Amino acid sequence: MRKSKMAAALAAVLMIGSALTGCGNGSSGNAGTTAAPAQAATTQGQAETTAGENGAQAETAAGETSAPAEAKNYSSTFDVAGAGDVTLDVMITSLGDSDGGPYLRGVMDNYMAMYPNVKLNPVECSMNDLYTTLITQATAGTLPDIFTMTEAYSANCLEMGMSVDNMAELLGEEYMGGLMEAAVENATVDGTLVYMPWQNNITAMVYRKDLFEEKGIEIPKTWDEFLAAAKTLTEDLDGDGKTDRYGAAFAGTRNDSAESRFQTFALTYGCDFVTKNDDGTFTSGFGTEEFKNAMTSFINMAANEGVTPPGFIETGYSEAYTMIAADQACMFFSASNVLGGIYNANPDMKGKMGSFPMPVAEGVDPVTSFSSVGMTISNTCKNPEVAADFLKYMTSVENSVEWNKATCRLPVVKDALTAICEADEAYSGFADASDSAVIYPAFAGLAELRDACGECWQTVVAEGTSVDDAVANAAAKAEEVAKSYSN
């Protein structure tokens, strides 16, 4: 791993800006209400946006059906209106979300209102099914024109030739210059920008700030301090002899969501999942004491210490944030979008939540992970210029700000970050954590390494396998994966 070149700059960006009015389906935080995408408006009175009950619908003045792209406030460099009839299948994993899905459909509707010659077909696919779906589609020659991509699969995407090889050129210098350099680096493999980074996934711990203050708990810097705080927060509130509120929630389902969180957890114990050597080979960190310590601690805190709700291995991301929203758990580490899930489930939690950088093991310097979710264009897309134009529109400053209001996800567009993050204290931990963020090396076997971890803790908790045996098995698998992807 390596520290992000943009760590200090990112921290500075996150600590300035204007007020954030809300997260999770707009300022109300209630499911079913969509924040209006701002981009449908023009600055010359040629068009104006009116927000309807289910999202924004673009209307134009003087009876026009669309305004020229150059009048739009985003980095459009292609004559979309002159491209003829265009149909694009757009597969975004967030389309199935209760908050992000309605918002994104509103953005797509606005783009089609600007350009009546363009038809965008939304295609749903969960993040946990993304990679297997893409392999199936690539094999069958049925890849959508635009699809979600992350650093966990970017090397595979490049190796299999799924995406265009001129993504940076299609986006253009002006647009690229507005992105966080760390995000661009994260999305680049062997000098090729594989996908357009979109969501900034700095990992930090969200927590019940009000309860910390009420009980006089200091922000934990180490995992020992975290466990002590979790024990203090674990309570029988009604005196019936049963725990009603737990100190923390851990995601333990065997999927990429939980497994990617463990990858960050392992970093806090000084363990790199994988290291790229100078000769192009890779070395797994699963055979180290740091990995064993991380897995042991993870299992103990998540399943054995009594500070988390029962059913750790059945607890996924949505179950975890729902527990916090329901006042059943107090801490959970995630990217910033978890705040949107909490607020959607219980708007009364606004003002009660905070965040702090990840705790670390004794002797380990502060550290967290930087990763990104983005979009790429298929190599089979017949209109890549139009596809790139839509992506730039979708991630413009105004739409990125509105996207944050709908989902609490942080964008990688620098001006949008400036406009979002400083005023809401719930984001302060993500800003602080950015200074110690690292970028993982591009590695085509990352998803396999993550899955070996999920299998490891699942077999210990569900089948009674010893930690030593489970870790040894994971280390053997990781070594095979590292060798198979080495040059």
Contact 400, 413 (CB under 8 A): yes
Contact 14, 427 (CB under 8 A): yes
Percent of the chain with pLDDT over 90: 67
Q: Count CB neighbours of 8 within 10 A.
A: 12
Q: Is the pLDDT of residue 475 over 80?
A: yes
Closest residue by Cα to residue 313 from 303, 323, 328: 303
Per-residue burial over 281-315, b = 16 or more CB atoms within 10 Å of its CB, e = otherwise: ebbbbbbbebbbbbbbbbbebbbebebbbeebbeb
**Which pLDDT score, from 0 to 100, does residue 422 have?**
64
Alpha carbon distance 297, 419 (integer Å): 38
Which helix (H) or strand (E) segment holds residue 368: the answer is strand 368-370
Q: Is the pLDDT of residue 444 over 50?
A: yes
Type of residue at 126: S
- 367: which 2 tokens? 């550290």
- 160: which 2 tokens? 């299999």
- 433: which 2 tokens? 């954590």
User: How many angstroms separate the Cα of 414 from the Cα of each of 175, 178, 189, 417, 472?
Assistant: 11, 6, 22, 5, 43
Average pLDDT over residues 327-342: 93
Q: What is the CA radius of gyration of the chain?
A: 22
Torsion angles phi and psi, residue 118, rounded to 5: -110, 130
**Which pLDDT score, from 0 to 100, does residue 6 have?**
42
**Which pLDDT score, from 0 to 100, does residue 12 have?**
45
In tens, the pLDDT along 192-203 reads 999 999 998 889
Q: Is the pLDDT of residue 205 over 90?
A: yes
Q: Is the pLDDT of residue 133 over 50?
A: yes
User: How many angstroms separate the Cα of 349 from the Cα of each of 24, 123, 226, 335, 346?
Assistant: 12, 32, 21, 17, 6
**Which pLDDT score, from 0 to 100, does residue 90 have?**
98
Torsion angles phi and psi, residue 418, rounded to 5: -60, -35
**Which pLDDT score, from 0 to 100, does residue 208 have?**
98
Range from 55-69, 292-306, 307-321, 472-486 carrying the lowest mean pLDDT = 55-69
Average pLDDT over residues 78-92: 97
**Which pLDDT score, from 0 to 100, does residue 108 have?**
97
**Which pLDDT score, from 0 to 100, does residue 219 have?**
97
User: Binning pLDDT at 50, 70 and 90, where does residue 48 land?
Assistant: very low
Share the mean pLDDT of the chain.
85
Q: Is the pLDDT of residue 125 over 70?
A: yes
- 463: which 2 tokens? 């089948």
Range from 76-80, 110-114, 251-255, 417-421 carrying the lowest mean pLDDT = 417-421
Type of residue at 458: Q
Alpha carbon distance 376, 378 (integer Å): 7
Range from 212-221, 234-243, 338-347, 431-440 carrying the lowest mean pLDDT = 431-440
Average pLDDT over residues 52-73: 40
Q: Is the pLDDT of residue 478 over 90?
A: yes
Alpha carbon distance 163, 129 (integer Å): 18
Please report the beta strands in 146-215, taking only residues with DSSP state E, as ranges in sequence order. Answer: 146-150, 188-189, 192-193, 196-200, 204-208
Higher pLDDT, 5 or 440: 440
DSSP assignment string, 104-169: HHHHHHHHHHH-TTEEEEEE---GGGHHHHHHHHHHHT---SEEEEETTTHHHHHHTT-B-S-HHH
User: Binning pLDDT at 50, 70 and 90, where does residue 1 land?
Assistant: low
**Strand order across the 204-208 sheet:** 331-334, 204-208, 353-356
Alpha carbon distance 469, 25 (integer Å): 45
Cα 184 from chain centroid (whole Å): 15
Contact 402, 38 (CB under 8 A): yes
User: Binning pLDDT at 50, 70 and 90, where does residue 45 land?
Assistant: very low
User: Binning pLDDT at 50, 70 and 90, where does residue 44 land?
Assistant: very low
The topology (CATH level 3) of 22-199+372-420 is: D-Maltodextrin-Binding Protein; domain 2 (3.40.190)
User: Binning pLDDT at 50, 70 and 90, where does residue 72 land?
Assistant: low
pTM score, whole prediction: 0.71
Percent of the chain with pLDDT over 70: 85
Average pLDDT over residues 113-117: 97
Class of domain 204-370+440-484: alpha beta
**Which pLDDT score, from 0 to 100, does residue 396 have?**
95
Average pLDDT over residues 439-464: 92
Q: Where are the domains of the chain?
A: 22-199+372-420, 204-370+440-484
In tens, the pLDDT along 256-272 reads 889 999 999 999 999 99
Q: Count CB neighbours of 480 within 10 A.
A: 14
Higher pLDDT, 382 or 65: 382
Q: Is the pLDDT of residue 21 over 90?
A: no
DSSP assignment string, 404-462: HHHH--EESBHHHHHHHSSS-GGGHHHHHHGGGEEEPPP-TTHHHHHHHHHHHHHHHHH
User: How many angstroms separate the Cα of 324 from the Cα of each of 241, 304, 320, 407, 430?
Assistant: 21, 20, 7, 17, 18
Q: Is the pLDDT of residue 52 over 80?
A: no
- 133: which 2 tokens? 């779906």
**Which pLDDT score, from 0 to 100, does residue 57 have?**
34
Average pLDDT over residues 247-261: 94
Q: What angle do CA 289, 272, 445 make, to 5 degrees?
A: 115
Alpha carbon distance 100, 404 (integer Å): 9
Alpha carbon distance 248, 358 (integer Å): 13
Average pLDDT over residues 56-78: 52
Alpha carbon distance 67, 48 (integer Å): 10
Average pLDDT over residues 146-153: 92
**Which pLDDT score, from 0 to 100, does residue 341 have?**
87
Alpha carbon distance 113, 72 (integer Å): 13
Torsion angles phi and psi, residue 466, rounded to 5: -70, 150
